[in-house]
Structure 1
């Protein structure tokens, strides 16, 4: 594998469901942590075997939005710490170096920048950071819909020296100028400027349609270059049917599109790499078979 290309993992929730782990709404991927954590370890192992060089803690859904206030109050800290340990154990057992990214989700609701409330979000993020801090190599604030969300992440992390990756989710369609936008309506340029200002070491785009990612990568690369920065840029798209991509996080299981099989997803990923991405993986609906295709092809390209 090239030193310039990092292979991420895929979507934990769908993989747990595929494996037969306990899985339902609204708990989503958190249910396996509660009832059968061995499945979480198996999923991590499967992504590592497929070629993932970075795996993400299964902490995304361990927030009241998914598990409820009562469960979070009683078990949240314990479940978050467990998600960190399971990922750490899987990475430490891997035959090749694997880093653990601590997942810091949009704690008040995915795709909903309008629900963001800083005081409540800060309280929840603090629990996540405290539970993961002993297990992770880097922090991954993912599926962020607005700049203000990532500013709070940086505040909560304070002077933590570990790398901070900031990953944004994008609107389903490009604007009239062919540009990608955050779900808040802010521009990719706004996002890159925020990442640089907050001392982030990477900007990523995730849980969005594959078609909007290349534009975001190109703009991010152009802005970073203007700043004289070699900012790492990553992409991990989802596989939702376009008509289902607006579905709320707890409104049922979205259908998956047919053209994001491993071969089709690889074609999208090659476009992102051509645009300037240096990290690729997958979000909802992207499994170990997709990661294996990315790892094999991008590894071959690196040596050609």
Structure 2
């Protein structure tokens, strides 16, 4: 098995992740007030997905995640799509990211609004960006905010069965790595580790945490990290969609349990109101370049953003990375 994450970090020293795909799709005019969330755009606005990917690449991202976080066979079935149609959409999501990368490397320019950094060209020495096939937790399919609690009462075996059909499709694509995101529980971690082992595909698992030491469901963060450390096909461990103030203690906790690369991509610090279906409260005041530098010193190997984080913030992280 090749390890694209470690290979990239060993060559470049650091990995810049992208930001919130759904956030950028909304900025492009997509209506994501829907149980499918960003996956709705796979049906209605695939070109917007390609444009969003390009904007993150032009901002300096070394890795872009596909629009499959909330894309499931069950979710698309509720829209009348059969298994064959869902399979095509999952494959299309990876093709859109690969196409955006090819356009970026070829030098064509995507639409660039005035409030974003100017479109950039990849330096000749910079390796091609990676494409990560995003896999959201069971709670993302429920679309009730339970990815922030892990409170859905399923065993690892049941979660394995839920995730397996989508995983099998994405594992057969040309994505460089599978990215399990916003993982809230140890049981879901067990399911992902088993799927990674069965598919023999490089995988990262990124966690949703309630504080600097516990997963969203209250289990010790280090317990889940230790499971990832023991599975060779899990090539990196991360935290995502957490308040930026939790990132440093979570890096320390992860490093106690693993020697694998650590990826961090927090949200803006706002909180998701599952009933109102919107982000509430103030964002955490943050200088993204300075914070990225701090998180690197603390032991992070890759930094990006999640919900409410756009290309401008990724450009700031890139600026720190090339200093």
Task: Tell whether the structures are fold-level matches, with TM greater than 0.5.
Answer: yes
Asked if the contact 1:108/1:116 (under 8 Å) is kept, the reply is: no
The answer to whether residue 122 in structure 2 is matched with residue 114 in structure 1 is no
Cα offsets for 1:62-121 (capped at 9, x unmatched): 137865634464543222221111112222333240111111110244224221524553
Separation in 2 of the partners of 1:113 and 1:34?
A: 28
Asked if the contact 2:73/2:166 (under 8 Å) is kept, the reply is: no
* Corresponding position of 2:192: 153
Cα distance 1:183–1:38, how it changes in 2: closer, same or farther (>3 A)?
same
* Corresponding position of 2:4: none
* Corresponding position of 2:3: none
Asked if the contact 2:228/2:237 (under 8 Å) is kept, the reply is: yes
Please give the root-mean-square deviation of Cα atoms over the aligned residues, in Å: 2.3
Cα offsets for 1:129-175 (capped at 9, x unmatched): 2332213111111100112212212223334333211100110xx4x
SS at match of 1:86: helix
Q: How many aligned positions are there?
A: 283
For residues 1-304 of structure 1, the aligned pairs below 5 Å read 3-63=12-72, 69-71=78-80, 73=82, 75-95=85-105, 96=122, 97-109=128-140, 110-117=147-154, 118=156, 120-132=158-170, 133-171=172-210, 174=211, 179-199=212-232, 200-224=234-258, 229=259, 231-241=260-270, 244-245=271-272, 247-248=273-274, 251-255=276-280, 257-260=282-285, 264-300=287-323
Cα distance 1:116–1:8, how it changes in 2: closer, same or farther (>3 A)?
farther
Separation in 2 of the partners of 1:288 and 1:30?
A: 20
Cα offsets for 1:198-240 (capped at 9, x unmatched): 222111000111101100101222333xxxx3x1011000114
Give the alignment's TM-score, normalised by structure 1. Answer: 0.84
Cα distance 1:223–1:156, how it changes in 2: closer, same or farther (>3 A)?
closer
